[in-house]
Amino acid sequence: MIKFQPEQDDLAFDRTHIWHPYTSLLDPLPTYPVVSAEGVMLKLEDGRQLIDGMASWWSAIHGYNHPHLNQALAAQSQQMSHVMFGGITHPPAVALCRKLVELTPQPLEAVFLADSGSIAVEVAIKIALQYQTSRGNMRKQRLATIRRGYHGDTFATMAVCDPINGMHEHFRGVLPEHYFVPAPEITPEQTWDPAEIAPVQVLFEQHHESIAAFILEPIVQGAGGMRFYHPEYLKALRALTERYDILLIADEIATGFGRTGKLFACEHANIVPDILCLGKALTGGYMTLAATLTTLDIAHSIGRGPHKVLMHGPTFMGNPLACAVAHASLELIQRGDWQQQVPRIEQELRAGLAPCLQGEGVVDVRVFGAIGVVEFAQPLDVARVQAVLVEDGIWIRPFGRLLYVMPPYISETKHIAALTAAMVKISNIFP
Ligand SMILES: *Cc1c(COP(=O)(O)O)cnc(C)c1O
């Protein structure tokens, strides 16, 4: 077991040499040393315990150090940790893909195992483009999406992230230019107005001949703003994509596996996409693995196309350790505890976060499934807010103007109460 080396000042080394997500080595933000995690608790080096409100960015849905997942990982490591997927297959990959085909709506029956969420989206884009060329639609080479989306950090995915709070300005001239329509504004609680889909209709009328696919996060827009929109929008979009021969890519990397109260967020609208991206919670937060699913119809069409093969194949594709843990995580999903846990957490978040609205700087409080969001008028000072939260035994990472939680499904009532109390406190002390 590797431990921190105080005499070598590991934290100073970290600050000086190691990039964390979206950080500067010139002006690093504080990092907190976590040495172990169990259930919903993160344990700091000094022995303090923090209740985790983030589930390690949507992923640790069953909690940390879970015996069933540990067992799957240990058992597979005794067989083989990795083997190339080119020309070789293995039991964990087959078992996992069987479960993915079983759990996802028909007719999504073709699976590509990707090594991260961003790559799953890259593969989805390749599938869409190769499908269109295979049918002689050589001009269908662009994508369409809604604003305020987030689909990953690689170049193809950045190009479909929100053009303003995404990274377009930093990489102008390098990113391909796609079509954007306004993000839907009508929330799931409001009455839907068909006028909201009109911009998509107009876009498709004018440009359908150059659009291969429409990509979006169903119902919940995650990292691009933590926004929830009406299922009727998704339903209307599905109808339009069908009418104009445009594929629909549902990015359920954040929403998949029960987070919104349904196994997949598309179920809120009763629609099935042509391509589905899964990631984050796929391995219960143990390791990186993602998947892109599509129909056999689309897969076979690519097979008949000019390239014949799907043009992707990462070195660590179908990693057996990751597949074995993902398979074990899906077993827990199939056991179904999340079906009681998520609605209970939703209720507790609603009640617990309501007082945040009294905070002077708070402009909105919203909850959907096991996701709770407090939106402020001004960006939060991450380091200061985080220091207050850690002092109170809470791990929540503010992002821009947002303070939000998506806790592990195993969080008990007392844990949700502590998280919401901390968020109320922040709403009262930070303008
Ligand atoms: C996190 C996320 C991604 C990117 O996944 P990574 O594993 O971080 O590459 C893509 N789409 C959505 C909706 C996400 O939430």
Q: Which CATH architecture has domain 32-65+337-429?
A: Alpha-Beta Complex (3.90)
- What value does the CA radius of gyration of the chain take, rounded to a whole number of Å? 22
**Where are the domains positioned within the chain?**
32-65+337-429, 70-335
Whether the CA torsion 342, 344, 345, 346 is positive or negative: it is positive
Query: How many angstroms is it from 7 CA to the middle of ligand 1?
Result: 37
Q: Say how far residue 144 (Cα) sits from the centre of its chain.
A: 19
pLDDT for 169: 76
Phi and psi at residue 306, in whole multiples of 5°?
-65, -30
Which residues lie closer than 8 Å to 275 by C-beta, 6 or more apart? 124, 127, 128, 213, 247, 248, 249, 250, 292, 293, 294, 298
Residue type, 316: F
Q: Which of 280, 286, 404, 409 is catalytic?
A: 280
Determine the length of the chain. 431
Residue 64 and residue 67: Cα distance in Å, rounded?
9
Query: Known catalytic residue: 308?
Result: no
Q: Which of 3, 22, 27, 46 is catalytic?
A: 22
Question: CATH assignment of 70-335?
Answer: 3.40.640.10
Pocket test for ligand 1, best of 54, 145, 150 (most atoms within 8 A of CB): 150
Q: Which of 150, 233, 286, 404 is catalytic?
A: 150
pLDDT for 170: 82
pLDDT for 388: 97
Residue type, 169: E
For residue 107, whether the previous peptide bond is cis, meaning omega lies within 30 degrees of 0, is yes
Q: In terms of DSSP H, where are the helices of 264-337?
A: 296-304, 320-335
pLDDT for 33: 96
Query: How many angstroms is it from 119 CA to the middle of ligand 1?
Result: 9
From first to last of the 431 residues of the chain, give the pLDDT tens digit: 899 987 889 999 999 999 999 999 999 999 999 999 999 999 999 999 999 999 999 999 999 999 999 999 999 999 999 999 999 999 999 999 999 999 999 999 999 999 999 999 999 999 999 999 999 999 999 999 999 999 999 999 999 999 887 777 788 888 889 999 999 999 999 999 999 999 999 999 999 999 999 999 999 999 999 999 999 999 999 999 999 999 999 999 999 999 999 999 999 999 999 999 999 999 999 999 999 999 999 999 999 999 999 999 999 999 999 999 999 999 999 999 999 999 999 999 999 999 999 999 999 999 999 999 999 999 999 999 999 999 999 999 999 999 999 999 999 999 999 999 999 999 999 87
Instruction: Using DSSP, state whether 44 is helix, strand or coil.
Output: strand
> Kind of pairing, strands 142-146 and 179-181?
parallel
- 8 A C-beta contact, residue 238 and residue 270: no
Q: What is the pTM of this model?
A: 0.98
Pocket test for ligand 1, best of 58, 59, 121, 122 (most atoms within 8 A of CB): 121
Query: Known catalytic residue: 280?
Result: yes
DSSP secondary structure letter of residue 264? S
Which residues lie closer than 8 Å to 133 by C-beta, 6 or more apart? 140, 305, 306, 307
Query: How many angstroms is it from 306 CA to the middle of ligand 1?
Result: 30
- Which tokens belong to 265? 């967020």
Nearest of 278, 193, 206, 201 to residue 233 by alpha carbon: 193
Query: Known catalytic residue: 3?
Result: no
pLDDT for 16: 96
Nearest residue CA, atom 8 of ligand 1?
117
Where does ligand 1 bind, in terms of residues with CB under 6 Å? 116-118, 121, 150-152, 217, 222-223, 251, 253-254, 279-280
- 8 A C-beta contact, residue 183 and residue 229: yes
- 8 A C-beta contact, residue 52 and residue 41: yes
